[in-house]
Structure 1
Amino acid sequence: MEKARFKKTPFHFMQYAALKTFCALFGLLPYKTAVWLGRKATGAVRFVMKKRFERSVYDIRRAFPQMTPAEARAVALESWRNMGGILAEFIKLTRMTPEEFKKHCRIIGAEKMLNAQGHTGGIIHIGHFTNWEAFGLAGAIYGVDKAVLAQRVDNPYVDEETNRLRNIFTGRTFYSNNEDKPFFACMRWLKKKKMLGILIDQNAGSSEVWIPFMGRIAAFSPITALLAIKMQVPVFPVRVWREKDGTIVSEVMDPVLPPKEYSMENARQFTKTLVGYYEDWLRANPGSWLWAHNRWKREAEGEAYLKNHPEERV
């Protein structure tokens, strides 16, 4: 079934051709003009995808009950505009030399990852904030030998192109929705004392743990916690934001050490600790997160599960 889902079709190729044309046109524009236009374009998409936009507003109001309706809509609009900014930045940044790239992106604390590389290795704990893809590119430019765990895009042509650009400055990708389970591939990578980037702030479709997130139960993948405990490697939270001039800044925070004992209870507790970083970043800058994703679509399922398994509530 998964193979059929990712099979190439003529429609997929037409989508890919349109995207390549779009990227080529954006590539001709000055950096700031491209970002401005990208933000305007995805901001306007809210008029086409009204239900999805209203879902974003609803989720924001649930997460921040102190906000007025107008404030929640402003946060949602900034989040949607950010998607276009991400795309434009990604297109432009992948066409730059490392010297040009560093004028637009920088990393604070990169030495923490570089010191771990070759000694302990580690997991990069990042989320869908500001421009997470820019951090992945920047890590490679700063000398981090990293891989990322990502979901495969349904359109295989787009997926191949995204993967090529994501690793254009070196790196590799493991797929979480591949027919081959990624856990052991990630273990082998970490065993080489390298860095592995994982984002767990989107809904987990299976093998989940139920964790409170911004006041509501959400399904999280425990893979970061399980890998960190199993391999006894540190986890490096990474926060990403933009300066007023548009510079994308990533801060590598101090490493978080996992529990010693490998168990699901420890994995749940450690996942809750990692989710706490997401909550802190969200409260600091609500509009920087990807609210278009229906993060709490399994909330009712999670509440029902925890009602029957109260020992797993964290």
Structure 2
Amino acid sequence: MNLSYIAIRTLTYPFSILPFRAIHLLGKGLGTLAYFVMTKYRKRTLSNLALAGIHPLKKTARKAFQNLAITCLEYPKFSRLKQSGKIIHCENPEIAQKLIDAGTGVIFFCGHQANWELLFFEGTERMPGVAIGRPIKNKALYDWVVAIREKFGGKIITPKQGLKEGLRALRQGKFLGIVGDQGMPESPYAFDFFGKRAWTTPLPAILSYRTGCPIMTATIRREKGKYLIHYSDPIWPNKEEKLESEIHRMMKSALAILEEDIEKRPGQWLWQHNRWKQETPLNVYYRFRWDTILIILPQNFDLSVLATFREIYPQAFITLLVPKGTEVPLDDVEVMTYENESDLFITDYRFKLVFNFTAVSALHPHFLKQSAFKVLDLKGLKKAAREHLHPGDPLPLLLKKALTRPNTLWSQL
């Protein structure tokens, strides 16, 4: 018996009979509470917003938590809903419908906006379609979610089935839905998203090129308690160009449309997700695997150590805070300078991981109050590496032992 599933269904049942207006009001309240108590996700949200240059930070972050709470509370409501017309409206279904009616498949590329589940929910009321969904560990709960998604005849396929089943669906003249705004550091393709490198699945462009079916970016927004869906113009593949160049052109176009729409209502996007993940799980311990890193250096620091940081974090966004006049030996990092100790107390919510090599211990609580999950000094590094540390280990080796797994960037004897 799946007790957690039973508990979730029991606790959420009342929301299935409440009106949408009440659910949205409750969601705003619970989302605001979550913003203050869920420290980990609040920090990640604020950091991502700062990295993307979205302001005001805290107000938008609270709205993002409210949006996510509303989405979660709506699941039981949509499990009982017989038709979506009263709550969901597609503003321009004509082009996509015409393509489907003519037997041409469509790849709907979308992101985690408003209640993103409703894109497939509403689309399958009008058109045959499949969508890629990532399973969760609780099978009973996931089966319930899938049943909601497939209410109007659509089919959910797993990421492992994405290429094979996606091709089949498109060749049968169905639509394929892909939520493609997740961070994928294992992907070989990166595209700018809000001006920062974001590793992205190329699957929509690959499928489009192979089948001749267009990509259409689908966006959704919540307005006055209802949901409005909009489809972009089709992005068609050019078979006369090479696949590689078409992947870059088509994905850039699809992502640009999504980014522009998110920017209009940033509080309705899932900023809690780590979209800008840069490092794969291969080397660095999970607790130190962050994408935005600040390194604070004192006078007369051995700058050759910086090469070790780049070896450990080959893709991360690294910022150095160094004494004015310091010649930094790396050209792929951001450099900020300081003259006085007071200059070190910057307010910058981008940084999830901070290395402080100065003697100013007050910097630890300062950055922990912002978005930093860890603020490490030499003492903290030695503590993290204590299991493998040997007397006389130089700083580069200390860094590797503290931050990375044995037998990756250093050998465990």
TM-score of the alignment, normalized to the shorter chain, above 0.5:
yes
Change (3 A) 1:89 1:17: same
Query: Partner residue of 2:274?
Result: 294
| Structure 1 counterpart of 2:72 | 87
2:153 aligns with: 170
Q: Give the TM-score normalised by the residue count of structure 2.
A: 0.65
Change (3 A) 1:219 1:120: same
1:301 positional shift:
4.7
Q: 1:64 aligns with which of 53, 59, 69?
A: 53
Deviation at 1:96, TM superposition (A): 1.9
Q: Distance in 2 between matches of 1:90 and 1:236?
A: 26
Q: Which residue of 1 aligns with 2:88?
A: 105
- Counterparts of residues 274-285 of structure 1 (less than 5 Å): 274-285=254-265
Q: For the structure 1 residues 286 and 268, does the alpha-carbon distance in structure 2 shift closer, same or farther, using more than 3 Å as the test?
A: same
Match of 2:59 in 1: 74
Q: Specify the SS of the correspondent of 2:80.
A: coil
Deviates more, 1:79-88 or 1:190-199: 79-88
Measured against aligned partners, the alpha-carbon deviations of 1:160-188 in whole angstroms (never above 9, x if no partner) come to 11111111121001111x4xx42011101
For 2:147 and 2:18, the matched residues in 1 are separated by 22
1:117 partnered with 2:100: yes
Structure 2: tracts of 5 or more residues without a match: 279-290, 292-312, 318-330, 333-413
Distance change (3 Å), C-alpha of 1:301 and 1:166: farther
Where in structure 1 are there 5+ consecutive unaligned residues?
Answer: 1-9, 309-314
Query: What count of residue pairs does the alignment treat as equivalent?
Result: 284
Q: After TM superposition, give the deviation of residue 302 of structure 1 in Å.
A: 4.1
Give aligned-pair identity as a percent.
25
- Matched-pair contact (CA < 8 Å) for 1:90–1:133: no
Of 204, 216, 220, which residue of structure 2 is paired with 1:236? 216
Find 2:205's aligned residue among 189, 204, 225.
Answer: 225
CA contact (8 A) 1:198 1:224 kept: yes
Partner of 1:17: 6
Classify the secondary structure of the residue corresponding to 1:117: helix
Indicate the residue corresponding to 1:311 in structure 2.
Answer: none
Q: Cα distance, 1:267 vs. partner?
A: 1.1
Q: Mark the CA change 1:72 to 1:215 in structure 2 (over 3 Å): closer, same or farther.
A: same
> What displacement does 1:150 show?
1.5
Q: 1:213 aligns with which of 187, 193, 211?
A: 193
Note if contact 2:31-2:62 (Cα within 8 Å) is conserved in structure 1. Answer: no
Aligned to 1:94, what secondary structure does the other structure show?
helix
Cα contact 1:226–1:262 (8 A) shared by 2: no
Output the CA distance in 2 between the equivalents of 1:164 and 1:208: 33
SS in 1 for 2:68: helix
8 A contact 2:135–2:158 mirrored in 1: yes
Q: Distance in 2 between matches of 1:217 and 1:197?
A: 24
2:12 aligns to what SS in structure 1?
helix
**Which stretch of structure 1 is more off in the superposition, 295-304 or 191-200?**
295-304
Structure 2 matches for 1:262-273, cutoff 5 A? 262-273=242-253
8 Å Cα contact 1:239-1:252 kept in structure 2: yes
CA distance in 2, matches of 1:125, 1:90: 22
Normalised by the length of structure 1, the TM-score is 0.84
Superposed CA RMSD in Å reads: 2.1
| Per-residue CA distance 1:119-171 (angstroms, 9 max, x = gap) | 21110111111111122211122x11111012111221211111111111210
State the Cα distance separating 1:290 from its structure 2 match: 0.2
TM-superposed deviation, 1:114: 1.5
Distance 1:34 1:303, change over 3 A: closer
| Partner residue, 2:113 | 129
**Which residue of structure 2 aligns with residue 199 of structure 1?**
179
1:182 alignment counterpart = 162
Q: For the residues of structure 2 that align with 1:47 and 1:287, how far apart are their CA atoms? A: 16
2:225 counterpart letter in structure 1: G
Q: Higher RCO, 1 or 2 (CA under 8 Å, sep at least 6)?
A: 1
